[in-house]
Structures are given as C-alpha cells and as structure tokens.
Amino acid sequence: MSSLIKTDGQVLAALDPSTYADSVADHAGWAAAKTGAPLVLLHALDRDGAAPSRDLSGNLAFGSQEALLEQLTTADAERAKLAQEQGRALLAHAVDHVAERFDLEADTRLRHGALVDTLLDAEDEARLFVIGKRGEHADFARGHLGSNLERVVRAVHRPVLVASRAFRPVQRFMIAFDGSATARKCVEMVVASPLLRGLPGVLLAAGDSAPAGMDEAAARLREAGFAIDTAVVPGTPDAVIAAQVARQAIDLLVMGAYGHSRIRQLIVGSTTTQVLRSCTIPVLLLR
C-alpha cells in the first residue's frame, strides 16, 4: 500500500505572523523528524489585503491627482518592503526554532502570491503540508477557522496536518471511521506511513452500530503493529469526535478531508469544518 503516500517528498510548513507560527513550525518539525523527510518553511506574501486603488480623476485637479498617485505608489512600495522584511524575520525565527527543538535543518521560501496558489505550485514535491488552524486575521472570539485553511484543504491533494494553537508530543492518536472509501484509505495511509508508527490509537465511529469494514480496519492496523482500541459512540460525528478526543486523551486526530466536487464545496457546516472548529488538537486530513 506504499503507493497511497508519497515517500520522497518534503514536509512543507506554511507560516504567517500569527500566534500559530511556532506551533506550525513545531508540528512540521515533528513530522519531518518522524518521517525523515526534508523540511521546508514557507511564507507567502499575499496582496489580497491591500487597499484597492481608486480612480480619483473626477474629484481632483490634475496636479493633485498626480501627487496623490505618487504618494500611493511610494506607500505601496514601502509596505511591500516591510512585508518582505517581516517574512524573512519570520522564517529566520522558525529555522532557529526547529533547529533547537528537533535538531533539524530547514530550507526557507519567501513567495509572492496567494497561499493556495503557492502550495499548489509546490504540491508535486510535497509529502505533507502543515498549516495553522487560524491565521493572523482570524476571528478567535467566534472560533472561526482561517479562510486560507479551508481554501488550502479543499484545493490540495496531499495530506494536510492542521496545527493546533500549541504543540505537544503526540503519544496517542484517533482515526475517525465511517466505513467510507475515504476512511478505509485513511487506515491504509496510516499503515503505510512512518508518521504514527509505534503509537497506540483508537478507531472511532459515531452512530448506533459499527459501520461496515470497521473490524477489518482495526485488524489491518493491528497486523501492522499498532495497538488499536475501537469505539462506537451514539451521536453526530462532530459532537462524538470532539467529546471522545477529550475523554480519551487523544493528541492527534486522523480523518478524511473535504471532497473535491463543486457540490460538496458548497456545503456549509460539513463534519470536517465542525471538527476542526471544535477540536483543540492537531488534525491530520487525508484524501
């Protein structure tokens, strides 16, 4: 089943100047150390937040308009320069951070453009993406996810490790299992990857009875050397998963990601989104 995962790619961490920056670096460093993969730390300079230019020709005399446009151009150039300096400082800090925490050397990339496009451009060489649950502009009070997170998870085809706000060593994991082809593939990807090897885990299903294939999935994990418990808990998947993560002291959750169809992309409040919002631990999203 090794063909299910890319074994020669990089762990690529997407950093921004948010409170998640150190945690993203930590989760990426942990994953790189566990898999033996090269670590790349990336920061994308996205101009989406820049103030739009306005046509003021009808409101100002020519001389005034020309002077204002020159000031705006100068201000834009200064903002771009400051953003680049901030990005370089962010990456330099992260390099030192993973070197100290995990004794790893990391490469860095500073790119211009939207984060989603930047990660898609790097997808062929990536084994795993790591991104924070929320970015620098997220609404923490309301528990909203970062807009970049949902865009990235829906767009890329590689596994995505969604970092929690603080890193802690992963000692016990859980796989959310619903009997679907995606859930079964998640099991096979866990078996094929060194990321969680040697750790105990739980195979969890939400509902009144075990979904088809759950016993086989548990057996597959045990054959691969995992110490796996199984649990079937009544309730909706998002509520059950969040409660069991807390109850069973789970450090990392594995589950299937969003679908790629346009219809599924329009669904608001999917299980993936609700679990990401409610869980305070990292979530590994697999295709």
- β-pairing verdict for 252-256 and 283-286: parallel
**Distance between CA atoms of residues 58 and 4, nearest Å:** 60
What pLDDT was estimated at residue 54?
Answer: 45
Higher pLDDT, 103 or 19: 103
What pLDDT was estimated at residue 5?
Answer: 63
Round the CA-based radius of gyration of the chain to a whole number and report it.
Answer: 21
CATH number, position 85: 3.40.50.620
Q: Are residues 27 and 139 in the same domain?
A: yes
The answer to the question of residue 84 being in a domain is yes
Q: Are residues 95 and 182 in the same domain?
A: no
Percent of residues, the chain, with pLDDT higher than 90: 60
What pLDDT was estimated at residue 264?
Answer: 44
Count of domains forming the chain: 2
Residue at token pair 């670590």: 39
Q: Look at residues 222, 230, 213, 129 and name the one whose alpha carbon lies nearest to residue 175.
A: 230
- Over residues 73-81, the mean pLDDT reads 78
pTM, two decimal places:
0.84
**Distance between CA atoms of residues 200 and 80, nearest Å:** 47
Domain that holds residue 264: 169-287
Q: Are residues 276 and 174 in the same domain?
A: yes
**Distance between CA atoms of residues 92 and 40, nearest Å:** 12
Q: What pLDDT digit, counting tens, does each position of 108-126 carry?
A: 999 999 999 999 999 999 9
**Distance between CA atoms of residues 18 and 133, nearest Å:** 10
Q: What pLDDT digit, counting tens, does each position of 173-203 carry?
A: 999 999 989 899 999 999 999 999 999 999 9
**Distance between CA atoms of residues 47 and 178, nearest Å:** 40
| Confidence class for position 287, pLDDT limits 50, 70, 90 | confident
Higher pLDDT, 53 or 8: 8
What pLDDT was estimated at residue 52?
Answer: 41
Q: What pLDDT digit, counting tens, does each position of 266-285 carry?
A: 444 477 778 888 788 999 99
